Structure 1
Amino acid sequence: MADIARATALEHGMFPEGAAVVALVSGGADSVALLRLLVSGAFGDLQGRIRVLHVDHMLRGADSLADAAFVEALAAELSVPCRVVRYDVADFAEQEGLNLEDAGRRVRYRFAEQEADALTDELGAPRSRARIAVAHTLDDHVETFLMRLLTGAGASGLRGIRPVRGRVVRPLLGVRRSEVREWLAAQGAEWREDATNADTARTRAWVRAELLPVIESRFPSFAQTTERTLRILADEDDLLAEMAEAFARDFATVAPERVEFDKARMATLSRAMARRTVRAALTVAFPDAGRLEAEHVEALIEGLSCESFARDLPFGLRAETEYATLAVSRRGHAPAPIEPCLLEVPGRADLGAAGVLVARHAEPGEMPATRDAAVVDADRIEVPLVVDAPRPGDRIRPLGMAGTKKLHDVFVDAKVPRRLRPVTPVVRCGDEVVWVAGLVTSDRFKVTAATQRAVVLEWERP
């Protein structure tokens, strides 16, 4: 068993030189074996760089307290520092709308990440050297595959448990649960049994106690052959994931709390690759989005080909089309409209989330350098100018036009998304619109051959 675990750790580079390891120890056979292997030097010399973390979910009363006491005693026997955290997982699950298994997993990893940071800080090591060792075995790997096969999953889900994910490492993933118990028994080592693991009302327990034994009675090598199949799936999944990440970089604009997909470019992808690209981009901006269900991703794929699409998604997300893009953002994450402010000449107005507007004197013959600049006749404006957001009923007389045009129509013609209109600066002289930043200048304030003095208005976008 130790040889298999060591080979798994070496194959996946689980414990680099100078690694600091937080071992998640429940008190069960698998985690006890993992801790004993870590202390024994099976994965290299980790002396002084191992910590034990036990999370009491407060679900089993006296048994939970006994588990914690057992882990503390084991850590003391092995001379490894130990931290026990008690956390009401049932209450957390109710508040977050999660099942107990998912809630417990989130809580454990949250505390494990905190402990890993604290350990590396204490040792003066970079946090990138931290590892969180978890005792999943080959049986867990196969059970997870069967559970996802029964409940439905794509290739990424069917690959089972990853040997390495971020700082989390699983050196026992190639070892059978029975081999772990045999190894512990040969050493006279004790462990705790969790009675809930035998509750077949839980899907994993049912797969473990009833389904897997039936399969193995007909196919004794099922676990080993499944492991080989899962390796192939994992290799192919990794290749497709790399491709999807590249497409996500090229076909989507990812910013904090927002992703915009280029609809035309996304249309060039096969449906299968579009699914992966959507997930890859969303996961960068919204880590929770990795757990979006297939139906939500399919809805987004359909939305890419719609002119008008809007849908609320889990985790507080909303998707909607904005002309050439499909945008996904946090609900209620729209920037606040520009607050009215004065702009002197020369002067500068800080517009917060809308950027900065600058006014300066210029020669009459100066031409705007970009669409985010405009030149107006200084003698036709009254200083200070007013800068604010578009108002209902606003109109402007665009350069070269005899009549006026609604600002609403200006935005529509320029395909400015609705969410960006309140943060597009409008420069006013009294009640008249002088310039809609980046879009159109009023003909009334234009520079002519008779202009003696000019003012340049420049918008520095956020």
Structure 2
Amino acid sequence: MLNEFREHIENHFPELLQSRFLLACSGGLDSVVLAHLCSELGLDFSLAHCNFKLRDIESDKDERFVKELAEILKVPCFVICFDTLEYANEQGVSIQMAARKMRYEWFKSLKKQHSIKTLVTAHHADDNIETFLINLSRGTGIKGLTGIPSKTNEISRPLLAFSRLQIMEYAKQSNIEWREDQSNKETKYLRNKIRHEIVPRLKELHPTFSNNFRITQKYLRQASDISDGHLNQVKAKLFTIEGELIRIPIEPLKVLKPLDAYLYGLFNEYGFTEWEDVKLLLNAMSGKTIYSKTHRLVKDRDELLLSGSMDKVEFNYEIDESTDHIDVPISLSIVSVNNIEETNASVLYVDKETLKYPLVLRKWQKGDYFYPFGMVGRKKVSKYFKDEKLSLIEKDSQWLLCSSQDIIWVVGRRADDRFRVTSKTKKAVKIILN
């Protein structure tokens, strides 16, 4: 297996030959064998072990084993202990989800701290079969059937080409010791049930099942690549990106066939899963909104507007008189000037003596009004938004620059006439939206 592994690394993971990486090691068979293989090839790596404190003394023995393994292989070792039960209760998630979230956040911080680009995990071919069956049982699209990717921008899985049997045989031939997690034998977890009851039965029915499965997944990945290429072309044609907002015309969406498949392909990456709701949105009243965990999709006349689903910000940001620049929540420069030059949507001049500090940057609120420059009298901000035909997302994204309770500027759109520079102005302030 060592020679096959060496060739596999050279052909598919050359980056592991060129730079240091982090190897996640539980102390179990797969990660221990992977550590030995990497050591045999003289690769530059460090071990990283998480003690989740879920198996009492056994968890501590795992930790001790990994530390001793690092000494044997003469590689650095990072170890962390988690109170997994407490975290799971606080977050309201399963123990498995809690462990996953904590370990990957720690891996990410380790990589950043030590300038390491790649995390290497010991997922193998049988893990891929289990993941395929789990996704299939829950219902999924073609992406869910392509299995675990062998490589992403941050994670490499060089053992995916090898089966558990191959790994076990190499360990025995090389007299490699490892730790057995007895919980892996319990079938109360879905993955373990598939591992111990379903996969062996499939291999019994079809002796060539593992090889057939790899070939099938290869075809699925190729089909997925073709699908992705086409969907990227559709997105390039229909999705117009404006900062953090994406505009999608509805009529061209409606003619796509099969519509459900296209909606899945176009919006799945944004967390949307209820395709009937997305489809109904195409014919809904303007302003209708649906949410995923990360995004929101709004019907706005003849368009869909896609953006992050953050709640409307209610914080007020104060700007002291001595402040000449801010970057949060938006980038503004505020400087005193002697000369008045040409203005535009991003540049505003105001009479400094009319300002009351600290200035306040905030979102609009019900009842807000201002005196739009170039108009007579006051106008409600909500009415101004309506007249300007702003979408719900644009309204929620709009910032107001205020002096006390008075609006100076609907930032980037319209100034308030009360603060304009006149012939009586002694000092002027130039405000720039960067």
TM-score interval, normalised by the smaller of the two chains: 0.7 to 0.9
Question: Are the structure 2 counterparts of residues 452 and 277 from structure 1 closer, same or farther at C-alpha, using a change threshold of 3 Å?
Answer: same
For residues 336 and 146 of structure 1, the distance between their equivalents in structure 2, rounded to whole angstroms, comes to 46
| Greater C-alpha Rg | 1
Alpha-carbon distance, 1:182 to partner: 1.5
Q: Residue 164 of structure 1 aligns with which residue?
A: 151
Taking the aligned partners of 2:131 and 2:306, their CA distance within structure 1 comes to 33
The residue correspondences of 1:360-371 to structure 2 (distance < 5 A) are 370-371=344-345
TM-score (structure 1 length as normaliser): 0.73
Q: Report 1:28-427 matches (<5 A).
A: 28-41=28-41, 45-46=42-43, 49-120=44-115, 127-128=116-117, 131-241=118-228, 244=231, 251-253=239-241, 259-264=244-249, 267-268=252-253, 270=256, 271=259, 272-280=261-269, 282=270, 292=271, 294-295=273-274, 299=277, 302-303=280-281, 306=284, 307-314=286-293, 320=298, 324=303, 326-332=305-311, 334=313, 336=315, 353=329, 355-356=332-333, 370-371=344-345, 383-384=353-354, 392=367, 394=369, 396=371, 399=374, 406-416=380-390, 417-421=394-398, 423-425=399-401
**Residue 411 (structure 1) shift:** 1.9
* Matched-pair contact (CA < 8 Å) for 1:263–1:304: no
Q: Check 1:444–1:206 CA distance in 2 against 1; reply closer, same or farther (3 A cut).
A: closer
Change (3 A) 1:457 1:142: same
Q: Distance in 1 between matches of 2:94 and 2:218?
A: 29
Superposition deviation, residue 210 in structure 1: 1.0
| 1:6 is the counterpart of 2:6 | yes
Residues 304 and 20 from structure 1, CA distance in 2 versus in 1: closer, same or farther, beyond 3 angstroms? farther
Unaligned runs of 5+ in 2: none
Contact 2:348 2:415 in 1 (8 A): yes
What is the rounded CA distance, in whole Å, between the counterparts of 1:374 and 1:64 in structure 2? 63
Task: Indicate if the aligned counterparts of 1:92 and 1:103 stay in contact, CA closer than 8 A.
Answer: yes
Return 5+ residue gaps in structure 1 as ranges. 121-126, 283-291, 343-347
Deviation at 1:140, TM superposition (A): 0.8
Output one character per residue of 1:187-212: Cα deviation in whole Å (capped at 9) or x when no partner.
22222221111111111111111111
Secondary structure, counterpart of 1:263 in structure 2: strand
Q: Deviations over 1:314-333 (max 9, x none)?
A: 36x65545665524335345
1:461 aligns with: 433
Q: Among all aligned residue pairs of Structure 1 and Structure 2, give the percentage whose two residues are the same amino acid.
A: 23
Q: Deviations over 1:330-372 (max 9, x none)?
A: 5345264576999xxxxx8979746356787779xx9x65345
Distance in 2 of aligned mates of 1:311 and 1:205:
36
Q: Assess if the C-alpha contact under 8 Å between 1:438 and 1:459 holds in 2.
A: no
Which digits, 9 at most, give the CA deviation of each residue in 1:116-139, with x for residues without a partner? Answer: 44554xxxxxx44xx322211111
RMSD over equivalenced CA pairs, Å: 4.3
How many angstroms does 1:164 deviate by? 0.9
For the structure 1 residues 334 and 177, does the alpha-carbon distance in structure 2 shift closer, same or farther, using more than 3 Å as the test? same
1:441 Cα offset (Å): 7.2
Please list the CA deviations of residues 70-129 of structure 1 after superposition, one character each: whole Å capped at 9, or x if unmatched: 333333233333333222223222222332333223333333333444554xxxxxx44x
Change (3 A) 1:7 1:93: farther
In structure 2, the CA distance between the partners of 1:246 and 1:358, relative to structure 1 (3 Å rule), is farther
Shift, 1:274, TM fit: 4.4
Q: Structure 2: how far apart are the matches of 1:40 and 1:67?
A: 22
The offset of 1:161, in angstroms, is 0.9
Quick check: 163-172 or 70-79, which moved more? 70-79
TM-score if structure 2 supplies the norm length? 0.77
Structure 1 residues 320, 188: closer, same or farther in 2, change over 3 A?
same
Which secondary structure does the structure 1 equivalent of 2:123 belong to?
Answer: coil
Secondary structure of 2:18 counterpart: coil
CA gap 1:309/1:37 in 2 versus in 1, 3 angstroms: same
Alignment CA distance shift 1:302-1:96 (3 Å): farther
CA contact (8 A) 1:155 1:233 kept: yes
Alpha-carbon separation, structure 1, partners of 2:272 and 2:4: 35
Alpha-carbon spacing, 1:152–1:7, altered in 2? closer, same or farther (3 Å): farther
Shift of 1:227: 1.0
Shift of 1:268: 4.0
1-side partners of 2:335 and 2:355: how far apart? 11
Are the structure 2 counterparts of residues 369 and 268 from structure 1 closer, same or farther at C-alpha, using a change threshold of 3 Å? farther
CA distance in 1, matches of 2:15, 2:408: 64
